Amino acid sequence: MGIIPLTLYYCFLSGLLGTVVVYFSFQCHNFLLDSLQRDMMNLCI
């Protein structure tokens, strides 16, 4: 295997991993925000 395909493969993998990580952290962030808002509403009521 040459160095060029290996580099492309590595770039592709890290890009994919970055996208997945960003997606999951975004989902988690939304979930945390939702639960935080729910807690605040419960406190207000």
Could you give the CA distance from residue 15 to residue 21 in angstroms, rounded to a whole number?
Answer: 10
Which three-class secondary structure state does DSSP give residue 17?
helix
Task: Using the predicted structure, report yes or no on whether residue 43 has a pLDDT greater than 90.
Answer: no
CA nearest neighbour of 9 among 1, 42, 29 = 1
Q: What does the pLDDT look like over 6-40, one tens digit per residue?
A: 999 999 999 999 999 999 988 888 888 888 888 87
pLDDT band at 1 (very low <50, low <70, confident <90, very high): low
Q: How far apart are the first and last CA of the chain?
A: 64
* Residues 20-41 as b or e (16 or more Cβ within 10 Å = b): eeeeeeeeeeeeeeeeeeeeee
